[in-house]
Amino acid sequence: MIAKMLESCVYQEPPSIYTKAFYGLTLLAVGYLGISEAIGKHLNYSKFWNSGSDKSTQVLLPSKVGMLIAYTPSLLAGVASFWVFSGSDDDGGIRFLMLKSAITIHFLKRDLEVLFLHKFSGHMVLNTALIISSTYLSSAASMIYIQHRVQGFPEPPFDLKYLGLLVFVVGIVGNFYHHYLLSKLRDKNVKGYAIPRGGLFSLVICPHYLFEILTFIGFSLISQTLFSYLCASGSAAYLLARSRATRNWYRSKFEDFPKNVKALIPYVL
């Protein structure tokens, strides 16, 4: 019964060995990133920019430059999709428009935050910027392309696109709000870290990650393809591991870190 319900929420794509191989590789890639974070092999940005490998072999970038490298290709892919799939036979209807728009808005927001909101300290390792950039780009471009491929197939019996739009809006607004609170922790002359306050920071140390996960869940509910669900699951797994590492980092740096503050999910985890 549960399997039938799940099938009712997903486009039924024709069987293809290439599609199965691509989905399998995607699952392995996101699983690797999540497990690496869980065992302490962090991607080198934010609080963990200087963790791990030999610093003499690393190419360091200013954090702002690294983050722009991470997000901008996906923004360009989103913008390009409006041109690439602009023909009357390719526009794909409201669901396709909603997905293209949501992906483009998300990465535009991230670039604008990097340029005008975030106050950076430290550096970002070039290799990390390229890993994040390629992961986001492949996810964004593939979600859009696969959505294009399923146009003309029967719609899933349970239409979740408007629920997905609502979840996406909640995610992107909540993510921005908590990024704004983080930006207010520092003035222009302060580069260190402090315990975040306000919003859901009283309950979890990474509410911005929680809302980013909601953003990707929004993508998946708008899209309702298997690949989009894999992307949402991979994002959740990675950010869960990253949030737990972030909580441990704060506990090691601040003796007054509140014990009741969880990593990602209020009162739970």
Predicted local confidence at residue 187, as pLDDT:
64
Read off the amino acid at residue 261. Answer: V
Q: Is the pLDDT of residue 207 over 50?
A: yes
Residue 189 lies in a domain: yes
- Could you tell me the residue range of the domain that residue 140 belongs to? 2-253
Residue 87 lies in a domain: yes
| Structure tokens that stand for 222 in this block | 């708008």
What would the pLDDT profile of 27-85 be if each residue is shown by its tens digit? 898 888 889 998 888 888 888 877 765 565 788 999 999 999 999 999 999 999 999 99
Average of per-residue pLDDT across 232-247: 96
Residue 261 lies in a domain: no
Q: Is the pLDDT of residue 3 over 80?
A: no
Residue 136 lies in a domain: yes
Residue 176 lies in a domain: yes
What would the pLDDT profile of 4-33 be if each residue is shown by its tens digit? 888 899 998 877 888 888 888 988 988 888
Taking residue 128's Cβ as centre, other Cβ atoms within 10 Å add up to 23
Look at the chain and report how many structural domains it folds into.
1
Report pTM.
0.93
Predicted local confidence at residue 92, as pLDDT:
62
Residue 263 lies in a domain: no
| Structure tokens that stand for 120 in this block | 């950076």
DSSP string, the chain: -HHHHHHTTS--PPP-HHHHHHHHHHHHHHHHHHHHHHTT---SSGGGTT-SS-GGGPPEEEHHHHHHHHHHHHHHHHHHHHHHT-STTTS-HHHHHHHHHHHHHHHHHHHHHHHHT----SEEEHHHHHHHHHHHHHHHHHHHHHHHHTTTSPPPSS--HHHHHHHHHHHHHHHHHHHHHHHTT--TT--S-----SGGGGTBS-HHHHHHHHHHHHHHHHH--HHHHHHHHHHHHHHHHHHHHHHHHHHHH-TT--TT-BSSSTTT-
Confidence of residue 88 (pLDDT cuts 50, 70, 90): very low
Residue 265 lies in a domain: no
Confidence of residue 188 (pLDDT cuts 50, 70, 90): low
| Structure tokens that stand for 202 in this block | 């009283």
Average of per-residue pLDDT across 86-105: 83
Residue 242 lies in a domain: yes
Average of per-residue pLDDT across 118-137: 92
Average pLDDT for the chain: 91
DSSP string, 79-103: HHHHHHT-STTTS-HHHHHHHHHHH
Predicted local confidence at residue 217, as pLDDT:
99
